[in-house]
Amino acid sequence: MDYTASTYLWKALEKLYSAHSKLRMNATRTHIQTNKKGKSIMEEDLKQMKSWVGVLAIVRNPYLELQLVANMLFGLDREYMHIDILIESWDNVTWQELYELLLNYDSKLDHVNASGGMNNVTSNFSANYAANRGGNNNPNNKGRS
């Protein structure tokens, strides 16, 4: 094989690979943007979203954390509407905060559903979180505001 043929072959492979990579990146972004909370466990959904973001980071096509948070909230189903509305009212919720909030809320939902009702889960949850995040006037509070 001469130089011209090998150069042509490498360029063809490069073009083929880059097209495949671009398709995969677009598919991964679509998965992130259209993911819906299904019957799976919340922790699995959160890990899947983070995994897709990791795939994009590996190919140097990062997904903004703010978009990730918004997409995750958008994909929640009706039983998460209370927490979704509450979280959307806050400024600058990080992925880690969202992860912890949703796991905590999911755990409370499981507990309440097992005991037979949704009585005040959201109000108790939001009051506790607001106190820890900086929603009170305590000067010793270490939370953000």
Question: pLDDT by residue (tens digit) across 21-69?
Answer: 778 888 888 888 888 887 778 898 899 999 989 888 887 788 899 999 9
Is residue 139 situated within a structural domain?
Answer: no
Is residue 145 situated within a structural domain?
Answer: no
Is residue 62 situated within a structural domain?
Answer: yes
How would you class 116 by CB atoms within 10 Å of its CB: exposed for 0-12, middle for 13-18, buried for 19 or more?
Answer: exposed
Q: Is the pTM of this model over 0.85?
A: no
pLDDT score, position 117: 59
Is residue 14 situated within a structural domain?
Answer: yes
How would you class 24 by CB atoms within 10 Å of its CB: exposed for 0-12, middle for 13-18, buried for 19 or more?
Answer: middle
Is residue 103 situated within a structural domain?
Answer: yes
Query: How far is C-alpha 1 from the geometric centre of its chain's CA atoms?
Result: 49
Total domains, the chain? 1
Q: Give me the domain span that covers residue 74.
A: 3-133
DSSP-based three-state secondary structure for 24? helix
